[in-house]
A and B are shown apart, each in its own frame.
Chain A
Amino acid sequence: MKDNERFHDLEKTIRSLPKPDYNKKFTKDAQDTIHENLIQFAISYEKKKKRVTIMKKISLGLASVATLVIFAILTFPINEDRPSSSDQNEHTTTDENIVDDEKETSDQNENNVTDILYENTEYGFTFTLPKSWSNYQIVSDSWEGISEQNNPMEHGPILSIRHPQWSEAKPRQDIPILIFTLTQWSSLEKGEFHIGAAPIGPTMLGQNKEYVFALPARYNFAFLEGYEEVENILANHPLQTNKER
């Protein structure tokens, strides 16, 4: 009890300890100066914080994009590999011939989707062209066979498949097809006549029971625009004949 009274007095004494004279030591001016410093600091700190936040967002965005790109780079080849791996499985489980047939059919299907077909019912052949050749033109002309004595001896039709972008100002490479009867072709092979001045004869593209279809020698000697494309088309054996004729 005595203790409590003593402590009560002590507490009173502590509370009576003087407070600083703010008007002399910590004046209004001093307070205002500190306040001004603090406001300036707060504003610059807020700006800095905003900059840091924006930078963080930007770096986060860049990191996400980078991650996405890396993920894409790593994932796409794997996806592309998957079908081939399944193909390998097929090779191991089925007869190779069957697989080859399937491949051919699928190739044909793909070609059917992307290619167009020129059909000539008069002479009985078809010619497969890439899709870029749609709206092609057929230009009819004739060839003339010259005998050893330089006399005109034989003649026949020549059909040129012309690219849709062909123009007189900017001609493109045609696909010329010489059409021979079987007798004419036989005479040509025997050297009884020749076409043009080329030392080599035309190249056979195909034949049916009535006609032989051939490519003139040096057809692309002018190296017109698109000659490489035509070479590629011809490399794929585009001409198919109607077997019934």
Chain B
Amino acid sequence: MISNKISEWFYLYNKDIYHFLIYYIGSSDVEDLVQEVFIRAIKGFDTYQQKSSPKTWLFSIARHVGMDEMRKRKRVRMKQKLLFWEEHTEMKTPENILHLNENNRILYQAIQSLKANYRDVIILRGIKELSVSETASILHWNENKVRITYHRALKALQKAKEEFLYER
């Protein structure tokens, strides 16, 4: 039964998915996205291969949901700019929701400024503390690529962080 499996996985991984999406989207209103991740899991249950772990499979779905959401938000922002109409709503960013201190806020902004590949690997390996093989499985890379990209991402992050500190 799909519902039994999904129920089990939901209580095991919903917080991890929520945590990941907050950092990945850069927004705190991700409850709907968590639901969307599991809905996509239900729809794609037949394609789930037992050889991969449900955790990495769900993270992989969450990453795609996150990418779709970011594209959607980008389109909305573009539309607003074109129509010279700006919605003045107070966006609850992780900076507010996580009550980040000054150093963490700069680090968070530096992460968000990284290119997509680096950001993916920093969030999965660094923030979510997933193993190399788990990260490789989520990103559909080989483990070597994960190691190299992570190293380069750390380097880029260090540089970005210093730039933010200098600007301040």
Residues on A lying within 8 angstroms of B by beta carbon are 3, 6-7, 10-11, 13-20, 22, 25-26, 30-31, 34-35, 37-39, 41-43, 45-46
B108 within 8 Å of A by Cβ? yes
**Cα distance A106–B130 when bound, in Å?**
89
**Cα distance A46–B43 when bound, in Å?**
9
Residues on B lying within 8 angstroms of A by beta carbon are 1-3, 6-7, 10-11, 14-15, 18-19, 22-23, 28, 31, 34-35, 38-39, 42-43, 97-100, 103-104, 107-108, 111, 122, 126-127, 129, 151, 154-155, 157-158, 161
- Secondary structure at the B interface, as helix, strand, loop or mixed, is helix
Q: Nearest 9 A-B pairs (CB), nearest first?
A: A14-B126, A42-B3, A7-B154, A34-B35, A18-B98, A38-B38, A42-B42, A42-B2, A26-B18
Contact A10 to B157, CB < 8 A, known contacts A17-B104, A20-B19: yes
Name the contact of B31 in the complex, choosing from A10, A14, A30 (C-beta under 8 A): A30
A145 to chain B, nearest CB (A): 97
Closest-by-CB residue of A relative to B42 is A42
20 A-B interface contacts by CB (under 8 A): A3-B155, A7-B151, A7-B158, A10-B158, A10-B161, A13-B103, A14-B107, A14-B111, A17-B104, A17-B108, A26-B18, A34-B31, A34-B35, A34-B38, A35-B10, A41-B42, A42-B42, A45-B43, A46-B2, A46-B3
B10 to chain A, nearest CB (A): 5
B34 to chain A, nearest CB (A): 6
A150 to chain B, nearest CB (A): 103
A-B pair count, CB < 8 Å, reads: 91
Q: Find out whether the CB atom of A37 lies under 8 angstroms from the CB atom of B35.
A: yes
Closest-by-CB residue of A relative to B14 is A31
Task: Identify which of A3, A39, A42 gathers the most chain B CB atoms within 10 Å of its CB.
Answer: A42
Contact A6 to B158, CB < 8 A, known contacts A14-B126, A34-B31, A38-B42: yes
**Cα distance A41–B42 when bound, in Å?**
8
